[in-house]
């Protein structure tokens, strides 16, 4: 199909964010774009429990500063299960390159979040993204 939609490689997303409005907006926006939100959590403990449950998760969007600890712990649990992680934060942690495929700086436009996911899918296809949102640092080059 010449002009058909490309099949998505990332469809199931876990959102880990303790700012209720940001979490709601992210969940609503991604859902309206056809992604399945497998869960939205505001604590390290709940997010880790979801990851460790074995649920099929393609991507974790995680803030660094959560009410009960650091999102780095969530990223480590995801990385241990070969689940891709994008930090969504105002201050990308030093461990980010070892644990995540990228970092999206807050505040960001919703189109930047979508572009970041598309860039990641491009890398998963073995290609180089043509353009990245200015708020997104992509660490992965080949998946």
Encode pLDDT of 80-132 as tens digits.
999 999 999 988 888 778 899 999 999 999 999 999 999 999 999 899 998 89
User: Using omega within 30 degrees of 0 as the cis cutoff, is the peptide bond preceding 112 cis?
Assistant: no
- Please provide residue 132's backbone torsions phi and psi, each rounded to the nearest 5 degrees: -115, 150
Domain boundaries, the chain: 12-138
Specify whether the CB–CB gap between 108 and 88 falls below 8 A.
Answer: yes
Burial of 94: CB neighbours in 10 Å, binned 0-12, 13-18, 19+ = exposed
pLDDT tens-digit series, residues 116-126:
999 999 999 89
pTM across the whole model: 0.92
Residue 6 has pLDDT above 70, yes or no: no
**Which string of DSSP letters, residue by residue, matches 53-97?**
TT---SEEEE-SEETTEEHHHHHHHHHHTT-EEEEEESS--TTHH
Of the candidates 105, 91, 90, the one whose C-alpha atom is nearest the C-alpha of residue 138 is 105
Specify whether the CB–CB gap between 39 and 64 falls below 8 A.
Answer: no
**Domain 12-138 falls in which CATH fold?**
Rossmann fold (3.40.50)
pLDDT tens-digit series, residues 58-76:
999 999 999 899 999 999 9
Burial of 18: CB neighbours in 10 Å, binned 0-12, 13-18, 19+ = middle
Q: How confident is the model at residue 141 (pLDDT cuts 50, 70, 90)?
A: low
């Amino acid at each position: 199909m010449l002009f058909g939609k490309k099949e998505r490689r990332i469809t199931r997303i876990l959102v880990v964010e303790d700012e209720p409005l940001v979490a709601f907006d992210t969940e609503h926006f991604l859902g309206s774009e056809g992604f399945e939100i497998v869960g939205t959590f505001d604590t390290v403990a709940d997010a880790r429990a979801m990851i460790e449950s074995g649920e099929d998760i393609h991507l974790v969007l995680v803030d660094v500063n959560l009410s009960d600890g650091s999102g780095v712990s969530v990223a480590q649990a995801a990385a241990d299960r070969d689940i891709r992680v994008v930090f969504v934060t105002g201050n990308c942690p030093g461990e980010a390159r070892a644990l995540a495929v990228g970092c999206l700086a807050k505040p960001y436009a919703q189109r930047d979040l979508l572009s970041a996911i598309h860039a990641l899918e491009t890398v998963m296809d073995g290609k180089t993204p043509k353009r990245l949102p200015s708020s997104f640092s992509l660490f992965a080059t080949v998946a």
